Homo-oligomer: A and B are copies of this chain.
Amino acid sequence: MTRNDEDPVGAGALDRVTWALRRAELAVQTLKEQRLRPLGLAASHYTLLISVHSEPGLTGAELARRLNVTPQAVASLVARLESRGQVERREHPRHRHVQELHLTDAGRAMLREADAVIAGIELQITGALGPKGSAQLRDVLDQVADVAREA
């Protein structure tokens, strides 16, 4: 009674790839949030820290594009992390009122801890999938992202 074969609506909707994708991402994100909480860090904070770490000197607007959020959202996160002394805003050499983002020593230390947590989660997943399966999954996911983006 939970399935109506005469009605094409939702036929196999729960078996769709996009549905499985949503469930997996949600579960992983929830796990990250749980494990990061003891450090006093939200997943979005970690994302910002590692983004700034991998591309120092990023501006707020550019970072917003990387993370697919609005500049205001980034500004809000930066303000919080700055008040904790984990991120600092420096003046851009050319554009005066543009601010480059950099990690402080405290920020790097925090990132080190947080990244260990995330790496642990990654290890759990890759451990279950095997190195070959993991690499394959990564490639397929990138393919999915490309298809969705240019569709």
Residues of A within 8 A of B (CB): 1-3, 8-10, 13-18, 20-32, 50, 53-56, 68, 108, 111-112, 115, 118, 121-122, 124-126, 128-129, 133-134, 137-138, 140-145, 147-149, 151
Is the Cβ of A122 less than 8 Å from the Cβ of B17? yes
Q: How many copies does the complex hold?
A: 2
Is the Cβ of A17 less than 8 Å from the Cβ of B138? yes
Is the Cβ of B138 less than 8 Å from the Cβ of A20? yes
Residues of B within 8 A of A9 (CB): 53, 108, 111-112, 115
Is the Cβ of B3 less than 8 Å from the Cβ of A141? no
Chain B residue nearest to A144 in the complex (CB)? B24
Is the Cβ of A147 less than 8 Å from the Cβ of B122? no
Residues of B within 8 A of A24 (CB): 21, 25, 141-142, 144-145, 148
Indicate which residue in B10, B14, B21, B143 contacts A115 across the interface (CB closer than 8 Å): B10
Closest 5 CB pairs of A and B: A25-B25, A27-B148, A20-B141, A24-B141, A24-B145
Is the Cβ of A10 less than 8 Å from the Cβ of B124? no
Residues of B within 8 A of A55 (CB): 2
Residues of B within 8 A of A3 (CB): 54
Residues of B within 8 A of A50 (CB): 10, 13
